[in-house]
């Protein structure tokens, strides 16, 4: 487990045992904003617009004393988000995405995702052959091809949110995207108003290796820097016509989403009875029967009721006092693809 701190420190803890004990630590020049692991390397986005790349030494231990720095621009603007896409890392810097190869530690591709240079990429989510991108203070999501980098689709969520909740529920605040996640073949979107939307992703192009017809065409993408070939899967298009809005939300912005495997399809209302030990089989039964998708943010609100009758509303005697932090949990059954 790698933890990045605002003071530039990185702490490495064991994910197996003795979790509290720090195994390694190092101090970088500025705040650590994002960390990803890909192909045996750890990449850390630093607030001075650099990416620190860590590798293991010959003994298999992480060599924190020697790391490589990739400079992506002037230090006035930060690299806010990193995401592993196949065997590359997409870095969000201002209105651009830099595609970084962890092996060669070189930028392979750069693309503009917004015409305004003062815009800033905030979140990215990847599945199949597509990457969804959100922009700060913007209600539009943009889909890009993971291999060709082609701009494929724009989805504006503002009309849908306004239609479902009405202008009265949103007040004078505009819709902006603050959290993004792909889980269970759905795109989960959190907004600055505390609204949470789940949109199913298109599965029309899913390729199932078990159902391929002999002699059929299989599309692959070649890596220009190596002989590696990646089979095409599917492009995760979505339509707001099939979106679902949760009436359970947060009073303030949705800060994050997390998805974890559920416990054998059981919910919180399930009564667990003791049973004889079962034999573990490495088959389809190992796959989680359900996923728990969690959102984090300040306060809780039921949009069907509003704030009028809520006893936990902000105290007028202390308007600066913030709401307590809440986790909202959904149990979702993954589709069989």
Domain ranges (residues) in the chain: 1-119, 156-209+219-266+285-310+321-337
Q: What is the pLDDT of residue 212?
A: 44
> Closest Cα partner for 2 from 28, 25, 18?
25
Q: Is the entire prediction scored with pTM above 0.75?
A: yes
Q: What is the pLDDT of residue 167?
A: 65
Burial letters for 120-159: b for 16+ Cβ neighbours within 10 Å, e otherwise?
A: bbbbbbbbbbbbbbbbbebbbbbbbebbebeebbebebbe
Question: Residues 68, 38, 91, 5: is their CA dihedral positive or negative?
Answer: negative
Could you read off the pLDDT of 247-261 as tens digits, one per residue? Answer: 999 999 999 999 999
Tokens of 289: 């029967």
Burial letters for 272-300: b for 16+ Cβ neighbours within 10 Å, e otherwise?
A: eeeeeeeeeeeeeeeebebbbbebbbbbb
DSSP string, 209-220: GGGPPTT----E
Residue that the structure tokens 């420190």 belong to: 9
Cα–Cα distance measured from residue 90 to residue 58, given in angstroms and rounded to the nearest whole number: 28
Q: What is the pLDDT of residue 285?
A: 59
In words, the CATH class of domain 1-119 is: mainly beta
Q: What is the pLDDT of residue 277?
A: 42
Cα–Cα distance measured from residue 24 to residue 10, given in angstroms and rounded to the nearest whole number: 8
Which residues in the chain land under pLDDT 70?
Answer: 167-173, 203-232, 264-286, 306-321, 336-337
């Amino acid at each position: 487990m790698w933890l990045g701190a605002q003071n530039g420190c990185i702490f490495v803890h064991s994910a197996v045992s003795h979790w509290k004990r720090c195994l390694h630590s190092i101090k970088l020049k500025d705040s650590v904003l994002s960390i990803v692991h890909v192909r045996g390397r750890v990449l850390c986005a630093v607030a001075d617009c650099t990416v620190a790349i860590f590798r293991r030494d010959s003994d298999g231990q992480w060599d924190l004393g020697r790391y490589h720095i990739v400079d992506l621009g002037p230090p006035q603007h930060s690299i806010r988000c990193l995401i592993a896409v196949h065997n590359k890392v997409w870095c969000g810097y201002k209105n651009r995405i830099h595609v970084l190869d962890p092996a060669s530690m070189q930028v392979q591709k750069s693309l503009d995702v917004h015409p305004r240079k003062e815009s800033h990429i905030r979140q990215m989510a990847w599945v199949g052959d597509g990457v969804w991108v959100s922009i700060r203070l913007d209600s539009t999501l943009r889909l890009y091809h993971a291999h060709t980098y082609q701009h494929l689709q724009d989805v504006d969520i503002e009309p849908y949110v306004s239609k479902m909740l009405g202008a009265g529920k949103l007040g004078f605040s505009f819709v902006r995207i603050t959290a993004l996640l792909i889980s269970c073949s759905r795109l989960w979107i959190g907004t600055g108003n505390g609204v949470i939307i789940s949109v199913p992703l298109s599965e029309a192009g899913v390729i199932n290796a078990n159902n391929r017809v002999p002699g059929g065409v299989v599309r692959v993408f070649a890596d220009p820097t190596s002989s590696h070939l990646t089979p095409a899967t599917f492009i995760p298009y979505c339509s707001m016509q099939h979106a679902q809005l949760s009436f359970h939300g947060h009073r303030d912005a949705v800060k994050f989403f997390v998805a974890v495997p559920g416990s054998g399809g059981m919910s919180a209302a399930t009564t667990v009875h003791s049973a004889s030990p079962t034999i573990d089989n490495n088959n389809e039964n190992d796959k989680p029967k359900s996923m728990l998708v969690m959102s984090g943010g300040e306060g809780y609100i039921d949009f069907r009721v509003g704030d009028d009758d809520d006893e936990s509303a902000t105290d007028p005697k202390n308007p600066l006092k913030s709401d307590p932090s809440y986790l909202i949990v959904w149990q979702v059954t993954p589709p069989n693809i």
